[in-house]
Amino acid sequence: MRGITSPIDSTKTQLEKEVAAEVKKQTEDFKQELEILKSDFLGQLSQLNNLFLDPQNQKEQILQQLSGLTPSPSLTQDYVHPEIQQKIQELTTQLEILKAGNTHLFFTANDYLKQGNALFFEGRYEDALACYEQVIQRQPSSFIAWLNHGWALRRLGRYPKALLSYQKAIAIQSDSYIAWFGCGNSLRKLQRYDEAIVSYDRALELQPEFHWAWCHKARCHALKNDHDLAIESLTRAIKLRGDQHRELAKTNSDFDLIRADERFKKILTG
């Protein structure tokens, strides 16, 4: 008959309610446990991020300071103020300590370039070379990396390899007078004077008042015992940067073959 609930049906309904309530309770408990686990995980992740980001931030600050103190190797002067030298040494030491204690520290190609320039400026040419090679591995078409690679090799006296690096730089950026100048310097050291003169001439086409190219071109002509062209080029260098090249010519052995020439003596006396 309709409207009459059997004891069995009543018991079944009650059991279903109890099961549903238990399932709901377990679900809520599970959600709470998930929230706790999620909170713990995010906390641990935040700690890991802080461990990672703090050294990264320190690295960025050190490299930024180094970048402000160090020019590109091609513009490095022979004299560096002792206070700047000391500051560079302190910063490169800090960076090395930071790298040693944080193996996960991430360096970009630009980071290695900045570090390499600082090490070059510090006179640590082997270490600078290693940094430039890291840049080249990451960015094989980096003009500045190949150029600086050449400068480091040149300072180490590895002229054939330096020449190859300058040629790589020129292949990437053929209108760089400083790359042609570096190429000329390597060729001069290799006693390939005619080729060196061609490179210096290319540099001077791009930068006619680059006094060092005139001076080194004069050295090549002097080494070839070509008095007229040596004196002509040296005169141009002295006209652009006076006493600097006059003093160099007085003592540099490359000019020995023309030293007795009266015209040479005259330009040395001003």
> 171-218 pLDDT, tens per residue?
999 999 999 999 999 999 999 999 999 999 999 999 999 999 999 999
Q: What is the pLDDT of residues 210-265, one digit of tens each?
A: 999 999 999 999 999 999 999 999 999 999 988 889 999 999 999 999 999 999 99
Q: What angle do CA 162, 168, 171 make, to 5 degrees?
A: 145
**DSSP structure class, residue 74:** G
How many whole angstroms separate alpha carbon 43 and alpha carbon 45? Answer: 5
Residue 114: other Cβ atoms inside 10 A = 23
How many whole angstroms separate alpha carbon 75 and alpha carbon 178? Answer: 9
Query: pLDDT band at 51, cuts 50/70/90?
Result: very low
Cβ burial of 5 (10 Å; 0-12, 13-18, 19+) is exposed
Radius of gyration of the chain (CA): 35
Q: What is the pLDDT of residues 130-161, one digit of tens each?
A: 999 999 999 999 999 999 999 999 999 999 99
Classify the C-alpha dihedral 42-48-50-56 as positive or negative: negative
Indicate if the pLDDT at residue 44 is higher than 70: no
